[in-house]
Amino acid sequence: MTASRHIAIVGAGIAAATCARTLLQDGHRITVFERSHTLGGRMATRNSPFGTFDHGAQYFTVHDPRFMQAVQATPTVCKPWSANVTQLLDEQGHNTAPSSIATHEPHWVASPGMSTLAKHWLQPLLEARCIEMQTCVIAIERDSLNRAQWQLRTEGQDDSCHVYGGFDAVLLAIPAPQAQVLLKDVAQAQALVAQTAAVKMSPCWTLMLAFPQAMQPDLSALGPQWNAARSMHQRIAWLSRESSKPGRSQIERWTVQASTTWSRDHLHDDAQRVQAKLVKTFAELTGIHAEPSYVDTKRWLYARTEMPLGQSHLWDHTSGLGLCGDWCLGSLVEDAYVSGLELALSVAKTWEVGAG
């Protein structure tokens, strides 16, 4: 009979949450390490005095039947969003959108914020105190007490360092460039790392704006009639009205994503300069020239996948090291879900609990 294993999962985004809950259901012992103070990773929700912003993933689509089943089994969290996405032209008045962009397929959001889905799926681990929050994994080593197992060196927000040991497997559910750094000195991981060499991820500057004055009756017509738009403007690629999503506060709030090219060109610019340029273009595109009561920016270094791995996950059963994340298959929430699920199924197959 195969015994349950102790498995470390690095990251608490949607790939990690899917992987963790699947392996937990399979009877394994799981410990999750998340460097941030919140769960959800790039399915992120920022709080502000005027309501929340989904400043990472805006919505998700559902094609994989297993993802559909998981979404339908979580109706209190997963809600359809009538985004009615429009298309804004570029500065010359051209629509240069690739024909593959489907604006009419069903859009889903987690409610009350995008981070809620990972939180919901990780709840059993949270309750069992098996998630180490604000704990950044900085090294993966052979366990000093048992060379067949792994130990993780971590750093907390207060610079405190810890070593967690006794893991039969370490699964990295983090962006490929961050996984490459973490695994660069792990001899047993070099074949896995080599397979990720061609993966490419791109950055994204995100702008968040709130206009509570739009709640006043005389200003109720503030802004455009649409709630979300893809834009062909060289500076801004996406705009959405947060208050149009289910379960959000009604205060007028917008999340704006800069284009990949512009984000890359301005990656190391001062955040204030970036903010000023994006606010100016936001006003041009929406016609909202009012002064926002709240403005903030977020720079995502590894936002979207430009070149995916081309397979759902990587798993080396001899070393007990595995990798998953959206970048394995693409750049969507659904890709992250499928990747986390497939890695968990491979690990479960290696160590079938209760089987001979």
Binding site for ligand FAD (CB under 6 A): 10-16, 33-36, 41-43, 56-60, 136-137, 173-175, 178, 182, 204, 206, 257, 300, 303-304, 325-326, 331-333, 335-336
Backbone angles phi, psi at 137, to 5 degrees: -75, 125
Nearer to ligand FAD, 108 or 351 (CB): 108
Strand ranges inside 67-148, DSSP E: 78-81, 86-88, 107-110, 131-132, 135-142
Of 71, 48, 125, nearest to 341 by C-alpha is 71
| Beta-carbon count within 10 A of 117 CB | 28
Nearer to ligand FAD, 22 or 58 (CB): 58
Nearer to ligand FAD, 13 or 223 (CB): 13
Nearer to ligand FAD, 4 or 331 (CB): 331
Q: What share of the chain is helix, strand, coil (3-state, %, to 5)?
A: 30, 30, 40
User: What is the pairing mode between strands 107-110 and 78-81?
Assistant: antiparallel
* Least gap, CB of 11 to ligand FAD (angstroms): 3
* Least gap, CB of 56 to ligand FAD (angstroms): 4
Tokens of 305: 């996948």
Strand ranges inside the chain, DSSP E: 6-10, 29-33, 46-48, 51-53, 78-81, 86-88, 107-110, 131-132, 135-142, 150-156, 161-167, 169-172, 200-211, 228-231, 236-241, 252-258, 294-307, 314-316, 321-323
Nearer to ligand FAD, 88 or 137 (CB): 137
* Least gap, CB of 318 to ligand FAD (angstroms): 23
Between CA 168 and CA 177, with CA 173 as vertex, the angle to 5 degrees is 115
| Beta-carbon count within 10 A of 166 CB | 14
* Least gap, CB of 4 to ligand FAD (angstroms): 23
Close Cβ partners of 271 (under 8 Å, ≥ 6 residues apart): 297, 299
Nearer to ligand FAD, 214 or 233 (CB): 233
On whether the CB atoms of residues 9 and 31 are closer than 8 A, the answer is: yes
* Least gap, CB of 233 to ligand FAD (angstroms): 16
* Least gap, CB of 307 to ligand FAD (angstroms): 14
Between CA 97 and CA 99, with CA 302 as vertex, the angle to 5 degrees is 15
Nearer to ligand FAD, 3 or 163 (CB): 163
On whether the CB atoms of residues 203 and 264 are closer than 8 A, the answer is: yes
* Least gap, CB of 36 to ligand FAD (angstroms): 4
* Least gap, CB of 354 to ligand FAD (angstroms): 29
* Least gap, CB of 298 to ligand FAD (angstroms): 8
Nearer to ligand FAD, 59 or 214 (CB): 59
CA atoms of 316 and 299, how far apart (whole Å) = 33
